[in-house]
């Protein structure tokens, strides 16, 4: 089984401007420039930077200076309209920070202290701060999505009771000696196997939580930070790399598909991770009160954990905070990193997309300025297109508590007679890879329509592939209007409390999902002579819309 060593960084950018469809690999690097005092350095231009990939200087093809100043808030969505496009719904955030309160990997004795420190940080929240609050227990919990309302965040954290932590391996106790060699050996083997199982399970749950958060934040503009408050960090990012295998062997358990998805998700989101040790200051084994002070070098058992935190931060462009009781200060510093960020993008001169790690170095030509950025990226090949890989991605997204945003998706729901729902799935065509064949633009997307009942009980999943075929005129109009609409119909089950709509571009792997609470669907009035439109009239309306503003396609199986 492969070791847990997820690694990040390739950002694949698609340039969908008609009449040509170009897919280019662009590596994006977010750079924080500071003076010796720690203050952000404004006014730098692209010519002030030099960027190197494995020692070879690269041409900077993208440059921007982004601040945390609030952008204009988007208008609220109309009734029965649901979207994963956070750039429209996250209160106009130009940078965003997610806080992950990790109860899965934190002992009970440390959780209350970490909770208290987060609450104190929220007391000093500023208007420019856009914060989301997540908690990790047996699964990922969304306590509060992005907002600058400190009271809403505090109420969400205060009301979270937590899940049972998987600390069973620590409760198994030390090895046993029954006096019978064979029995003692067997019991100790069982104990070690259980410890290994719980550790692997915690690591797997942690990886999936990181993937869900990264997928959720990907579409947000500006600097994106993840502050991970935890007592341990089971996700190791090794300094050496090797290409991932093409496919797991049948019947053999492996983490590599999860690691592969984590690598891609964190890379695509360009998410900077800030590990914060919830344990605070830790004394060494040699500490005694008479000495009055201790070294910042922690106990031997903690050093490996600190190394994991440090490498995780360096690989993603964040900072690690450990052996410090002021967690509130760490949270504030991590949030302040979004106040001014320089974004550099380049198309690597190499053509070696073999999964190996490549180091990045950014230099500033102005004296007295120090920079911080992620130290490199894994040159990942194209995402696997085989059904087994696609099924794994979509199955994980079905149970994710947050929406994936790489593919922009807006769903309009129109209730009809009985329990039937007409769904208009509006895709951002810039997130769909289309190829021109004999003058016609073609593509395909996976569609999942999922119904979930009380207590997360799975009721039904309808899935098929929607083939997209656009004439040159429709293709041009689609990109001009930035709207590609697919039509679906769904018979809502009586027990359903949540609908989850997933669309995944097969060619690029871009995934979008939207969660729709059934309670938020407003039924159309049945009085006043209202009559549900027939299928023919619906087709006429959709066809008219296709001719005027956007392409509307009936989703069809191949």
Residue 344's pLDDT band, with cuts at 50, 70 and 90, is very high
Residues 393 and 542 both lie in one domain: yes
Residues 444 and 331 in one domain: no
Which residue carries 């001014």 as its tokens?
A: 340
Q: Quick one: which of 235, 227, 181, 175 has its CA closest to 206?
A: 235
With CA atoms as reference, report the closest residue to 353 among 387, 383, 373: 383
| Dist CA 31 CA 138 (whole Å) | 35
Considering the domain architecture, whether residues 276 and 403 belong to the same structural domain is answered as no
Residues 338 and 408 in one domain: no
388 Cβ contact list (under 8 Å, min separation 6): 247
**Residue among 204, 159, 153, 179 nearest 4 (CA):** 204
Q: Give, in order, the Cα–Cα distances in Å from 451 to each of 212, 263, 455, 498.
A: 19, 29, 12, 6
In whole numbers, what is the pLDDT of the chain averaged over residues? 78
Q: Quick one: pLDDT at residue 53?
A: 95
**What proportion of the chain, given as a percentage, has pLDDT over 90?**
39
pLDDT at 22 over 80: no
Q: In 3D, which of 442, 445, 443 has the Cα closest to residue 425?
A: 445
- Is there a single domain that holds both residue 415 and residue 320? no
Report residue 132's pLDDT band, with 50, 70 and 90 as the boundaries.
Answer: very high
Query: What radius of gyration, in Å, describes the C-alpha atoms of the chain?
Result: 25
- Model confidence pLDDT, tens digit, residues 86-114: 766 555 556 789 999 999 988 888 888 88
106 in Cβ contact with 278 (< 8 Å): yes
The residue length of the chain stands at 558
User: Based on the domain organization, do 234 and 138 belong to the same domain?
Assistant: yes
443 or 284, higher pLDDT = 443
Residues 306 and 201 in one domain: yes
What confidence tier does 6 reach under pLDDT thresholds 50, 70, 90?
very low
Q: Which range (21-25, 98-102, 296-300, 511-515) has the least confidence?
A: 296-300
Structure tokens at 475: 């293709």
pLDDT of the residue at 70: 55
Q: What percent of the chain has pLDDT over 70?
A: 75
- Measured from the Cβ of residue 381, the count of other Cβ atoms closer than 10 Å reads 12
Q: What separation, in Å, do the N-terminal and C-terminal C-alpha atoms of the chain show? A: 37
Strands 484-491 and 551-554, by their bridges, are: parallel
Asked if pLDDT for residue 418 goes beyond 60, the answer is yes
How confident is the model over 302-321, as pLDDT tens digits?
A: 555 677 788 888 888 888 98
C-beta separation of 342 from 65 below 8 A: yes
The domain containing residue 272 runs over which residues?
Answer: 90-244+255-282+294-343
Question: Rounded to two decimals, what is the model's pTM?
Answer: 0.76
The Cα 197–Cα 139 span in angstroms is: 17
Give residue 165's pLDDT: 55
Confidence bin at 527 (pLDDT 50/70/90) = very low
Residues 449 and 394 occupy one common structural domain: yes
Residue 31 falls inside a structural domain: no
418 & 541 share domain: yes
Strands (E), 111-215: 131-136, 140-147
β-strand pairing of 224-230 with 96-102: parallel
Is pLDDT larger for residue 458 or for residue 163? 458
**543 and 397 in one domain?**
yes
Does 366 map to a domain? Answer: no
Cα-Cα-Cα-Cα dihedral sign, residues 373, 319, 4, 221: negative
The CATH number for 466's domain is: 2.60.40.150
SS3 of 394-433: the string is HHHHHCCCCCCECCCEEEEEEECCCCEEEEEEEECHHHCC
What CATH number corresponds to the domain at position 152?
3.40.50.410
Number of domains in the chain: 2
Does residue 543 surpass a pLDDT of 50?
Answer: no
Highest mean pLDDT among 248-262, 358-372, 528-542: 358-372
């Amino acid at each position: 089984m492969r070791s847990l060593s997820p690694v990040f960084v390739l950002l694949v950018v698609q340039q969908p401007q008609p009449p040509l469809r170009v897919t280019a690999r662009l590596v994006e690097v977010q750079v924080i420039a500071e003076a010796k005092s720690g203050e952000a350095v404004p006014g730098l231009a692209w010519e002030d930077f030099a960027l190197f990939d494995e020692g070879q200087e690269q041409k900077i093809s993208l440059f921007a200076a982004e601040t945390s100043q609030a952008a204009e808030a988007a208008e609220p969505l109309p009734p029965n309209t649901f979207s994963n496009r956070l750039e429209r719904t996250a209160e106009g955030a130009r940078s965003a920070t997610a806080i992950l309160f990790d109860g899965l990997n934190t002992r009970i004795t440390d959780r209350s202290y970490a909770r208290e420190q987060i609450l104190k940080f929220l007391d000093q929240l500023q208007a420019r701060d856009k914060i989301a609050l997540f908690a990790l227990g047996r699964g990922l919990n969304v306590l509060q999505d992005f907002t600058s309302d400190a009271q809403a965040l505090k109420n969400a954290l205060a009301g979270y009771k937590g899940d049972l932590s998987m600390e069973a391996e620590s409760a198994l106790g030390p090895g046993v000696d029954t006096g019978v060699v064979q029995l003692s050996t067997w019991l100790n083997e069982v104990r070690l196997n259980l410890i290994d199982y719980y550790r692997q399970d915690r690591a797997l749950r942690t990886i999936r939580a990181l993937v869900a958060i990264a997928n959720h934040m990907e579409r947000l503009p500006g600097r994106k930070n993840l502050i991970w408050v935890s007592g341990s960090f089971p996700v190791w990012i090794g300094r050496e790399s090797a290409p991932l295998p093409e496919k797991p062997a049948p019947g053999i358990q492996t983490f590599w598909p999860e690691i592969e998805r984590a690598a891609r998700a964190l890379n695509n989101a360009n998410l900077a991770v800030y590990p914060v040790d919830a344990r605070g200051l830790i004394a060494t084994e040699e500490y005694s009160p008479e000495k009055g002070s201790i070294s910042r070098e922690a106990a031997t058992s903690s050093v490996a954990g600190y190394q994991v935190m440090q490498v995780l931060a360096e690989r993603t462009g964040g900072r690690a905070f450990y052996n410090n009781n002021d967690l509130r200060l760490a949270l504030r510093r991590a949030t302040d990193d979004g106040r001014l960020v320089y974004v550099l993008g380049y198309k690597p001169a190499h053509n070696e997309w073999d999964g190996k790690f490549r180091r990045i170095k950014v230099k500033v030509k102005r004296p007295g300025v120090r920079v911080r950025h992620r130290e490199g990226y894994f040159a990942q090949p194209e995402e696997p297109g085989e059904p087994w890989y696609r099924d794994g991605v979509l199955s994980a997204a079905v149970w994710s508590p947050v929406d994936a945003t790489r593919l922009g998706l807006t769903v309009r729901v129109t209730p009809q007679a009985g329990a039937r729902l007409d769904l208009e799935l509006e895709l951002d065509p810039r997130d769909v890879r289309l190829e021109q064949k004999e003058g016609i633009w073609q593509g395909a997307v996976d569609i999942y329509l999922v119904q979930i009942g009380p207590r997360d009980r799975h009721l039904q999943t309808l899935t098929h592939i929607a083939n997209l075929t656009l004439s040159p005129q429709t293709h041009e109009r689609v990109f001009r209007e930035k709207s590609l609409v697919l039509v679906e119909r769904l018979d809502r089950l009586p027990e359903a409390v949540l609908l989850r709509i997933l669309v995944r571009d097969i060619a690029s792997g871009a995934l979008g999902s939207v969660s729709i609470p059934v309670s938020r669907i407003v039924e159309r009035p049945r009085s006043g002579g209202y009559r549900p439109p027939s299928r023919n009239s619906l087709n006429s309306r959709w066809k008219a819309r296709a001719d005027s503003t956007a392409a509307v396609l009936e989703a069809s199986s191949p």
